[in-house]
Structure 1
């Protein structure tokens, strides 16, 4: 009562019924959207030769650039090796002999000969000999000569590989996309209580024309809560487009109607609108 609901509620305990129902009926019609595969095939076949020529040109330029860069690097590396070999003598690192205790193994001295143009990569390695005291076990020394570091000549094919693409052929598969047409939809809403009853019905039909119908009404002990709202809209697609809309509202205080029509053809466009409104309250009366 403190919130002001005592004017609407007949008792302190209220109950209501709520019902919602939606139904969809499938439409057998389908919309066919063509896929322009023929245009795609013609475009590809006309431009495939140009693509091959551009590809071969780019491949030739890439091969020439890589070959020139490799040959330049090889010349600089060979020149560097010759200059270092003339100015520097090979360095030989001596590894003295040593004895492994507990096992009585004696290793002879060994050497590592480095390249004259660098002290990272060895040219020749002499392994030590191993002898076990008090036995006939003996491992002789070995000399390992590593191959010299050099860049090999890059073989360049005199006749480049042929590159070709197959000709595109039109497939026999369907070249249309089928989309189901919109079906019929029905929606019902119902609300019942001790104060008022509200019903709403909406339906959409998609046949030769698209029609939407809307109806909402209420009944109540209070006249202010009673109303009826109805509307219909149709779209006709014969000989152009025609959209017709009609709305009506009736209530104790507010009422009116609206009618409009819009027609579109290839040459003309027509439109008409009619609206009537009525307001009746204690302080205002207007039509």
Structure 2
């Protein structure tokens, strides 16, 4: 009552209708953007031989560098191995024999011969022999000799590998990018109640000209809320760009 709504609110329960609609209509027209592929293919074909020569030179230098580093490392390793072999005798670790009473197994002593220049890689291993008491089962001892660690020699091939790239040919397909043109977009808004009815329509139309249209109107029990606002803006592209705008407002 204090807000003045008593005069047009007849009941305590009020209802309203709200409607929103957006629609897009596809345009069949397309914009064509040319791509200058001719100059690109000419540039590639003119510089492909230079690229191949630079690639082969770089590959040969990299191969020589890797081979020299590897052979130098191999020579140092062989020299270190020879010096250690002369200065030190091979180390032999002997593990004594033992017996397993519960299983009645007797294990003979066995030895492990290490390389003179390392403690990790063995040169020769003598496995123990196994004897089971009160039986004829006997496993003899074996000697396992591991091959010595030798690095192979790398050599640069006398005939370098040939590298070639195919010639780039221009495609026969269209050299344009097709972009779909903007279609028509419309937006409708409607609000209805016992107090006021509001309708709004907005549209963007892309035809021969680009036209934007705006229309909103309302009807209400309050006279000050009744109005009609309409606006139109068009962009002409036939003879240059021309923009025209019209706007009207009425209060019934």
TM-score higher than 0.5:
yes
Deviation at 1:94? 1.8
Q: How does 1:6-21 map to 2 (within 5 A)?
A: 6=5, 9-11=8-10, 12-21=12-21
**Which residue is 1:278 aligned to?**
none
Instruction: Determine whether 1:99 maps to 2:83.
Output: no
* SS in structure 2 of the partner of residue 73 of structure 1: helix
Q: Which residue of 1 aligns with 2:157?
A: 157
TM-score, normalised to structure 1, is 0.76
- Further displaced range: 234-243 or 131-140: 131-140
Deviations for 1:177-199, whole angstroms, at most 9, x for unmatched residues?
33332223333333333323322
Alpha-carbon spacing, 1:8–1:118, altered in 2? closer, same or farther (3 Å): farther
Instruction: Indicate conservation of the 8 Å contact 2:110/2:128, yes or no.
Output: yes
> Which stretch of structure 1 is more off in the superposition, 37-46 or 107-116?
37-46
Deviations 1:14-46 (A, max 9, x none): 333334444433322222233333333333323
Query: Secondary structure in 1 aligned to 2:77?
Result: helix
Which one has more relative contact order, counting CA pairs under 8 Å at least 6 apart? Answer: 2
C-alpha contact 2:95 2:109 (8 A) present in aligned 1: yes
Displacement of 1:10 after TM fit?
3.1
**2:199 aligned residue:** 199
The 5 Å alignment of 1:104-183 reads 104-183=104-183
CA deviation after TM superposition for structure 1 residue 150, in Å: 2.5
Alignment-derived partner of residue 284 in structure 1: none
The equivalent residue for 2:84 is 84
Could you tell me how far 1:104 is from its partner in structure 2? 3.4
Separation in structure 2 between the aligned mates of residue 137 and residue 10 of structure 1, nearest angstrom:
113
Q: RMSD across aligned C-alpha pairs, in angstroms?
A: 2.5
- TM-score, normalised via structure 2 length: 0.86
Relative to its length, the structure with more strand (as a share) is 1
Give the direction of change, closer, same or farther, for the CA distance of 1:149–1:8 in structure 2 (3 Å limit).
farther
Q: How many residues align?
A: 251
Aligned to 2:248: 248
| Deviation of 1:123 (Å) | 1.4
Q: 1:184 to 1:107 in 2, by over 3 A?
A: closer
CA distance in 1, matches of 2:30, 2:167: 34
How far is 1:116 from its partner? Answer: 1.4
Contact 2:67 2:155 in 1 (8 A): no
CA contact (8 A) 1:8 1:195 kept: no
CA–CA distance in 1 between the matches of 2:232 and 2:244? 8
